[in-house]
Amino acid sequence: MAPAFRVHVILVVLVCSRLSSVMGTNATESVVDVAANLNASIFVDFVEKLPESLSHYLKNGKGPFTLFVPTNAAFAKLPANIRNQLQTNKTYMMDVMSFHIGEGLELKADFINERLIPTLYSANTQKRVRLNVYQKPAEKVYTASGAPVSRFDELASNGVVHLLDQVMYHLPSQSADDVIVLAPEYLQLDYLIEMSGLNASTIAGGGPFTFFAPTNEAIYSLPPGAMYEFEVNHMALIAVLQHHIVKGTYYAAGLYNGQILQSYLGQDLKVILNGTVVLESVDSPNTVTQVTSADVSVTDGVMHGVNRMMLVRYN
């Protein structure tokens, strides 16, 4: 037996053994049946719209699968344009649904911060579900690509189901740099990053990171003379860009009022929740910005669009 094949067989045996040990003798229903029993009827309806081979695979395949199942309430909260795309764009619907189907058995005990989980959408790429664990003052929050997990470890004959309070519709198909280059709302940010001679990843020293990314509105709102200062002093520009990037992945669900995050510049950012997410630069009083578009998953972390650029003094 070839070594690579022998390793594969050993892994399959270990996974199946683990599945048997946690399932016991009572789990006779498939992951789709368990989702239906949890009243996730909208998700189950979408499963029925998948190609017959895939839906049959989920209902009858040995797996194991980890289903990240949004509740009906989660689907109801979707923006209208996303709901419409799920209903009318079959390719997009299949991509989103496949992203909610994890390969292998992932229990609550396996939720490790920044762990990446392969899915049917992303088995051999970086486009994976990112698990995060956030310790807040009064609770610990678990998320899958930013979606809070409200119920864990509903066991099935061929895997496990976790319920989500949000739909994971921002698929991490691009890096932060790719999003900045392609998204019209970041046209001016792309110009500034190009002016700096770097890119988001090198500015941050690699991922995962959280980029509070200034939109066109933020850059158009700069005070007179700021753009000229950036043009003649690239180190000052890099410092300002670093002040908008935080090490680690902080989705909105992981933020809390009064939280202190340290930017790559080494200065503190204070999180203020007042119906929206506001960041205050602690070392530069009255320097604040507001998140206008949250939780854009990227392969190297997450992006939040902000409406003001936080200027800092560069020495």
**pLDDT above 70: residue 11:** no
Confidence of residue 55 (pLDDT cuts 50, 70, 90): confident
Distance spanning both ends of the chain, measured CA to CA: 63
**pLDDT above 80: residue 58:** yes
Confidence of residue 286 (pLDDT cuts 50, 70, 90): low
**pLDDT above 90: residue 130:** yes
Q: Which CATH number fits domain 176-306: 2.40.160.10, 1.10.268.10, 2.30.180.10, 2.60.40.10?
A: 2.30.180.10
Helices 41-49 and 90-99: crossing angle in degrees, nearest 10, is 120
The residue among 38 and 287 whose pLDDT is bigger is 38
Residue range 3-164 forms a domain whose CATH class is mainly beta
Would you say the CATH fold of 176-306 matches that of 3-164? yes
The pLDDT of 59-70, averaged and rounded, is: 93
**pLDDT above 60: residue 22:** no
Give the C-alpha distances (Å, rounded to integers) separating 119 from 100, 128, 169, 295: 7, 6, 14, 19
Helices (H), the chain: 3-23, 31-37, 41-49, 52-60, 72-76, 80-88, 90-99, 176-182, 187-196, 200-204, 216-220, 226-232, 234-242
The pLDDT of 130-157, averaged and rounded, is: 97
pLDDT at 27: 67
* Mean pLDDT (the chain, rounded): 89
- Total-model pTM: 0.89
The residue among 4 and 203 whose pLDDT is bigger is 203
In the chain, the percentage of residues whose pLDDT exceeds 90 is 78
**pLDDT above 90: residue 61:** no
Confidence of residue 4 (pLDDT cuts 50, 70, 90): very low
In the chain, the percentage of residues whose pLDDT exceeds 70 is 90
**pLDDT above 80: residue 21:** no
The pLDDT of 96-121, averaged and rounded, is: 95
| Alpha-carbon span 269 to 247, nearest angstrom | 12
The pLDDT of 181-203, averaged and rounded, is: 92
| Alpha-carbon span 214 to 207, nearest angstrom | 19
**pLDDT above 80: residue 2:** no
Domain boundaries, the chain: 3-164, 176-306
pLDDT at 98: 94
